[in-house]
């Protein structure tokens, strides 16, 4: 940046659909097949068509991943749907630097933020437009869409947080969010 220069930000957030445009933006897509192993009924998950998208993530990473002191900004969209009685959801993770916190906020649709501490206590917070969620140190987090439309959730996290998917891939969360009598329930 030059002294006295007035510039334009490189990234714009669409306030109607919360999509990010500009550079550099990362676009990720996860198909249901790709994440089938997170579901209780993996066989049912694998039977969905190859192109069924479970969720997408857009992120602006203004600094390199792993940089200390920076921030990343993202928006995740989880599609509506269920594998048996279990709602479409994200893989879920602890941060690699486990003490790095994160903010989530609900933008569109409805869902649950499923949280688990290192002692494997699991609980959930309802997500809806305007709900704001602080994900503290050493807390695994996963989003599930419990509604009939796309669930869109904003996120902001430290650039050195990283993702530890292994722990969840190996041992999962200690509870699953399923639909029981029409209601989302942790079991
Ligand atoms: C990053 C943040 C989100 C998730 C996204 C997808 O720390 O928590 O951007 O990456 O919601 O979830 P997951 O578990 O597949 O990374
Ligand atoms: Zn995270």
Residues 109-140 have pLDDT tens digits of: 999 999 999 999 999 999 999 999 999 999 99
Q: Which of 27, 55, 61, 90 to mutate to test the pocket of ligand 1 (most atoms within 8 A of CB)?
A: 90
Rounded Cα–Cα distance for residues 81 and 78 (Å): 9
pLDDT tens, position by position, 63-87: 999 999 999 999 999 999 999 999 9
Share of the chain above pLDDT 70, in %: 100
d(CA 109, CA 132): 14
Q: Which residue has tokens 């510039």?
A: 7
Structure tokens at 16: 């109607």
3-class SS of residue 44: helix
5-36 burial, b if ≥16 CB within 10 A, otherwise e?
eeeeeeeebeeeebbbeeeebeeeebebbebb
Whether 143 has a pLDDT exceeding 90, the answer reads yes
Whether the model pTM is above 0.85 = yes
88 secondary structure, DSSP code: P
Q: What is d(CA 140, CA 118) in angstroms, rounded to the nearest whole number?
A: 8
Instruction: Tell me how far the alpha carbon of residue 138 lies from the centroid of ligand 2, in angstroms.
Output: 10
Pocket of ligand 1 (CB under 6 A): 57, 74, 76, 90-93, 102, 141, 143, 155, 157, 161, 163
The alpha carbon of 147 is separated from its chain's Cα centroid by a whole number of angstroms, namely 16
Count of CB atoms within 10 A of residue 107's CB? 21
**Which residue ranges form the domains of the chain, and what is each CATH number?**
11-186 (2.60.120.10)
């Amino acid at each position: 940046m030059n002294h006295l220069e007035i510039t334009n930000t490189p990234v714009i957030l669409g306030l109607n659909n919360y999509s990010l445009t500009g550079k550099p933006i990362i676009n990720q897509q996860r198909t249901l097949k790709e994440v089938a192993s997170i579901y209780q009924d993996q066989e049912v998950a694998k039977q969905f068509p190859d192109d069924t998208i479970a969720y997408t993530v857009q992120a602006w990473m203004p600094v390199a991943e792993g940089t200390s002191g920076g921030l990343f900004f993202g928006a995740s969209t989880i599609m509506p749907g269920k594998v048996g009685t279990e709602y479409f959801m994200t893989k879920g993770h602890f941060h690699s630097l486990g003490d790095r916190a994160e903010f989530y906020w609900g933008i569109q649709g409805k869902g649950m933020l499923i949280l688990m501490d290192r002692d494997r206590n699991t609980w959930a917070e309802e997500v809806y437009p305007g709900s704001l969620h602080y994900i503290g140190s050493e807390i695994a987090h996963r989003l599930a869409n419990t509604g009939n439309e796309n669930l869109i959730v904003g996120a902001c996290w430290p650039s050195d947080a990283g993702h530890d998917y292994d722990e969840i891939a190996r041992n999962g969360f200690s509870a699953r969010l399923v639909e029981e009598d029409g209601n989302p329930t942790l079991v």
